[in-house]
Amino acid sequence: MWNDGWIVVAGASRGIGRALAQRLARENTRVVLSARDAAALDDVAALYGPERRRVIPWDFSVPESLEEYGKRVLETAGPVSGMAYCAGKQKTLPLNMSKPATARDIFDLNTFSAIELVRVLSKKEILNPGGASFVLISSLAAHEGAVGKTLYAASKAALEGFVPPAASELAPKRIRLNSLVLGIVTTDMSMEFIGKMTAEQRNDMESGYPLGLGEPNDVASFIRFLLSDESRWITGQAFVADGGHSARKA
């Protein structure tokens, strides 16, 4: 099911990353748990035996720091056979209020650090000899016109554009790279936005999801599949999971 290496979960303290860490805890996996919130990581780490967990608090909003992060993973854990990049942020901001500094802030966490972590963890000295699988998180925002989502959508679209050519370069190393394109999932991040809606706006939004809004566990199961050897013949793909949101337009 799993290669012998470690699975890195970036953004493991809440939302999808936390659900994935909880999902992997039920299986015989060895996991590196990372996020800025060290206290929240300790709660997740308690689900694992000490021999199957490594906790490395880290701020993924600084792409330049990830070279050091890769070294820390290798020193404290060992070779990596999987990575799920679940860290991210969204900001609802009209285009006329968007500034370069805001764009850099969003792109650093959502895009540049994800790309850099793929680069760092694919190094020969860090990579598990049996290969690895990396999973990135994108959003339907990159494919729909939602007011105020220009920078967030652009950061996710850039990430999707990275996946196919990077996957072609990584395949000879036996590294698979895929992304998930998600509809609205009820995480802390999305609820900050939803919580500002009127009852009418929320009803209109929810009516666009025939299967209901997603939950972190729905996504965690999909990521778990892509990380496992069960998806050994899949790379370079963007998988849509959106509760029927796209299909309703057919």
Catalytic residue selected from 48, 69, 85, 152: 152
CB atoms within 10 A of CB 116: 20
The DSSP code sequence of 49-100 is: -GGGEEE----TT-GGGHHHHHHHHHHHT--EEEEEE---------GGG--H
Task: Please give the Cα distance from 187 to 5 (Å, whole number).
Answer: 29
Give me the amino acid identity at 88. G
Token reading at 191: 């609820």
Whole-angstrom Cα distance, residue 43 to residue 161? 35
Query: Catalytic site residue 69?
Result: no
List, by residue number, the catalytic residues.
152
